Amino acid sequence: MEDNLNIVGKRVVRSDSLAKVTGRARYTADLKMPNMLVAKVLRSPHPHAKILAIDLDGARKVPGVKAAISGFDGSGIKWGVFRYTQDHAMLPTDKVRYIGEDVAAVAAVDEETALEALSRIRVDYEPLPSVFDPLEAMREGAPIIHEQYKNNINIHVHIDVGDVDKAMESAFLVREDTFKAAGEAYAMMEPYAVVASFQNGFLDLWMPNAGPHVRAKALANLLKMPLNKVRVRHINSGGAFGGRSEVAPADLVASLLSIKADRPVKLVLSREENATSSRQIHDMSATIKTAMSKDGTIVAKDLRAIYDGGAYSSTGPIATSVPFYVYEECYRFPNIRYNGYRIITNKGIRGMYGCHGRAFLAGNEAQMDLMAKELGLDPVEIRLKNGLRAGEMTATKSRITSCGLQETIETTARKTDFQKRWAKPQKLEGIGMGCVAIMCGFPMGFRSGSSCYLKINDDGYVTLVTGVVDNGQGNESMVIQAASEILGVPMEDINLVNADTEITNLDPGAYSQAAAFVSTNAVKIACEKARKQIVAIAAEKLAVSETDIALKNRLVYSVANPEKKMPIAWVVREAFARAEPVVATGTFFPDIDLEREWISRPWGQMAGTFSYATSVAEIAVDSETGMITMPRFTAAHDCGRAINPMAVEGQIEGSVQQAGVAAITEGNLWDGGHLLNPDLLEYKVPLACDMPEIDAIIVESGDPVGPFGAKEGGIAIRMNAYSAVACALTNATGVLFKEMPLTPDKVLEMVEKATEEKG
């Protein structure tokens, strides 16, 4: 890692903090434009039904209605992340596939008029048989939701490495268990909103999103418009967590209405619509069979996971694969088989998540603890024995270039006195450990890389133009901090222009954990090029060698003789006078195998690097109520290098809430195709009073390619925090958990079972 840094590695206030805490930051629903219309959507009351006719005439006749649309006003193009998953028309014309699906929409002068117009739309349906359980949907004779998916199997990811069956036969210890987890809501505080403004053939859009370039490309395809006429603009986001990665039906609805009305249109979903009619998280079940040698070495894994994908493909191949990959990036598996199935059902659409796959990951970790106990080992020993190290390859052929897994395990174990407490738990008190890795960027074709443009104005102030997106993680502040370090100017001297598809070049966005490793690397390269231009002119003017030049506090000076100095602004003006303005571009593309594909070729280098983390949860169970309390949580994260330690700690703490505490409370409840808890009263998001005391520990492995050694900071904890809680509950009761969330009813069953087993 680079040493002698002035601002990188320091705890700095984020550049967006003041605007957000004072309420000056604007979000999509805050936008106001002249003649803006209000949009409302008519939604399907049926989980599965043919659309026989849609009559919009009544709605169009309502005074104040300026546009009314259905799928028949679209291009007929279907969306999907991949060509082989293009099954979602956004506004259907053939049939509806879940309750709450967008069917038609209006734009009117006010909300009251829009709602009146919705009541005048007539849709004739022919109800069809529905299926809501993925296991039932896979059976012969089940209702077919999309003709192209036999037995409603949307995606099947098959990975087979080594000889699993042979290794199982010769293993000392083999165990098989099945785990389930309810789907979750993203539960962003900001309900989804879109503003679309179509003028002179150009469409401008504002919406919370994790990847503006991905969003603009999808909409250009759906609308059959040139990409340079569809502009996704910068706006603050009130949360994403994976749920705002891809184009949404609301985007197309607002766009079509604005095009029809030739006026700006705003569509804001209600809290209930946000839960029922935008993407949520997969329900899942996982059957895990593990074989170990007598010394605790994992010799084979046979894994089968079934994901409830809802009505459309969405991010299907990625969502079906990621839980497996983050696990195989953490541990050594010489023989492993994975069969992941994503099944279409008549529920709302499912997408990616920052802590996706909790039944799979928590099940693997809790099962490993019980097997370790049977072998006379403890969780720390068995994780250290099987954990990957730098220089090794994953089962699917990704090389690990930096790895602080061992240090995260040892540090959390030491700080919590883990081994002693795990071996002799107090009555209904437990401690549990969870480990995982996560890729920093993954193959997205030519969108895997990032480009940055930089100019320094004649007053010495800097303009940085990059596609990096901030959904609350601090990505904007991170790239400003990196630029400040290299250019020797304060963060407040740097103006960031970002997340605008017509100004910035391609960037992965806040997607696939790429912002630190990929986007910040592009910024660093651009700044280093600009710095080189400054150094060349300054060395000439100060009559010193270029190697003697340093930049700090808006000054260029000689290291050997600091009295020789000048403002950076002078150097920049000299560059303008020479007709050589200080401008630079930086591009970074991670070392990944572009031939790797989620289904057809699931091997090769997946990411430029991987981050690692270990979580330790401490819990207590009330024997009468089954309630779990969590007094303390310890989390250690290998983020390569913390560009802003305070921001990384914030991400760790948020991850403990989103996955650790949520493992106790959060889960969608269904009655057939009806979501029973679509609001924040019945959907139990953890509150401040539910939070444990958190010890957030930063481990720095110094990635050789990451900017200043940095890589992803936060999501690795999010992917293992629920594992730590599940393992702690198993430790407290002596009974293996079977289903998440770990609500009181399930916990009481475990306590009763433990009592019965003790006799």
User: In the prediction, which pLDDT does 510 show?
Assistant: 85
State yes or no: pLDDT of 412 exceeds 60: yes
Number of H helices, E strands in the chain: 21, 31
pLDDT average, residue stretch 378-405:
98
Q: What is the pLDDT of residues 181-202, one digit of tens each?
A: 999 999 999 999 999 999 999 9
Q: What is the pLDDT of residues 655-665, one digit of tens each?
A: 999 999 999 99
Structure tokens at 599: 């289904």
pLDDT band at residue 60 under the 50/70/90 scheme: very high
- Output 506 or 291, whichever has higher pLDDT: 291
- Percentage of the chain lying above the pLDDT 70 cut: 100
pLDDT band at residue 511 under the 50/70/90 scheme: confident
Q: Quick check: 452 and 526 in contact, CB under 8 A?
A: yes
Q: Quick check: 191 and 243 in contact, CB under 8 A?
A: no
State yes or no: pLDDT of 351 exceeds 70: yes
Q: Quick check: 607 and 441 in contact, CB under 8 A?
A: yes
CA atoms within 13 A on the CB side of 356: 29
Q: What is the pLDDT of residues 197-222, one digit of tens each?
A: 999 999 999 999 999 999 999 999 99
Q: Quick check: 249 and 21 in contact, CB under 8 A?
A: no
Q: Which residues pair with 342 in a beta bridge?
A: 155, 307
Query: Cα(306)–Cα(179) distance, rounded to whole angstroms?
Result: 11
CA atoms within 13 A on the CB side of 613: 34
Q: Is 262 left (phi over 0), alpha (psi -120 to 50) or beta?
A: left
DSSP 8-state assignment for residue 517: I
- Residue 600: CB partners within 8 Å, gap ≥ 6? none
pLDDT band at residue 759 under the 50/70/90 scheme: low
Q: Which of 235, 113, 242 is nearest to 187 (CA)?
A: 242
Structure tokens at 322: 């990621």
State yes or no: pLDDT of 446 exceeds 90: no
Q: Quick check: 428 and 733 in contact, CB under 8 A?
A: yes
Backbone phi, then psi, for 267, in 5-degree steps?
A: -120, 120
- Percentage of the chain lying above the pLDDT 90 cut: 93
User: In the prediction, which pLDDT does 31 show?
Assistant: 97
Q: Quick check: 132 and 345 in contact, CB under 8 A?
A: yes
Q: Quick check: 691 and 629 in contact, CB under 8 A?
A: no
Q: Quick check: 656 and 434 in contact, CB under 8 A?
A: no
Query: Cα(97)–Cα(144) distance, rounded to whole angstroms?
Result: 10
pLDDT band at residue 339 under the 50/70/90 scheme: very high
Say which range, 223-232, 238-247, 386-395, 475-484, has the weakest mean pLDDT.
238-247
Structure tokens at 269: 């979903």
Query: Cα(737)–Cα(245) distance, rounded to whole angstroms?
Result: 32
Structure tokens at 593: 């195998």
- Output 291 or 442, whichever has higher pLDDT: 291
Cis peptide before 590 (omega within 30 of 0): no
pLDDT band at residue 1 under the 50/70/90 scheme: low
Q: For the residues of 122-175, what is the DSSP string, one character each?
A: EEEEEE------HHHHTSTTPPPSSTTSGGGEEEEEEEEES-HHHHHHH-SEEE
Q: What is the pLDDT of residues 536-592, one digit of tens each?
A: 999 999 999 999 999 999 999 999 999 999 999 999 999 999 999 999 999 999 999
Q: What is the pLDDT of residues 538-551, one digit of tens each?
A: 999 999 999 999 99
Residue 35: burial class (beta carbons within 10 Å; 0-12, 13-18, 19+): exposed
pLDDT average, residue stretch 396-412:
98
Beginning with the edge strand found earlier in the chain, give each strand of the sheet holding 95-96 in spatial order.
95-96, 49-55, 122-127
Query: Cα(641)–Cα(524) distance, rounded to whole angstroms?
Result: 15
Based on its alpha-carbon atoms, the radius of gyration of the chain, rounded to whole angstroms, reads 27
Q: Which of 260, 282, 295 is nearest to 340 (CA)?
A: 282
- Residue 428: CB partners within 8 Å, gap ≥ 6? 620, 621, 622, 623, 732, 733, 751
State yes or no: pLDDT of 2 exceeds 70: no
Backbone phi, then psi, for 70, in 5-degree steps?
A: -140, -175
Decide the pairing of beta strands 610-621 and 628-638: antiparallel
State yes or no: pLDDT of 443 exceeds 60: yes
Structure tokens at 634: 């310890």
**What is the distance of C-alpha 483 from the center of its chain?**
25
State yes or no: pLDDT of 675 exceeds 80: yes
Domains and CATH numbers, the chain: 17-24+449-588 (3.30.365.10), 31-128+193-268 (3.90.1170.50), 280-443+596-758 (3.30.365.10)
Tokens 């509950």 belong to residue: 729
Tokens 């996982």 belong to residue: 286
pLDDT average, residue stretch 402-425:
97
Q: CA 106 → CA 113, 115, 222, 258, 400, distances in Å?
A: 9, 9, 19, 10, 52
Sign of CA dihedral 376, 383, 647, 415: positive
Q: Which residues pair with 431 in a beta bridge?
A: 618
User: In the prediction, which pLDDT does 445 show?
Assistant: 78
Q: Determine the angle formed by the axes of helices 212-223 and 249-261, rounding to 10 degrees.
A: 60
- Mean pLDDT, the chain, rounded, equals 96
Q: What is the pLDDT of residues 141-164, one digit of tens each?
A: 999 999 999 999 999 999 999 999
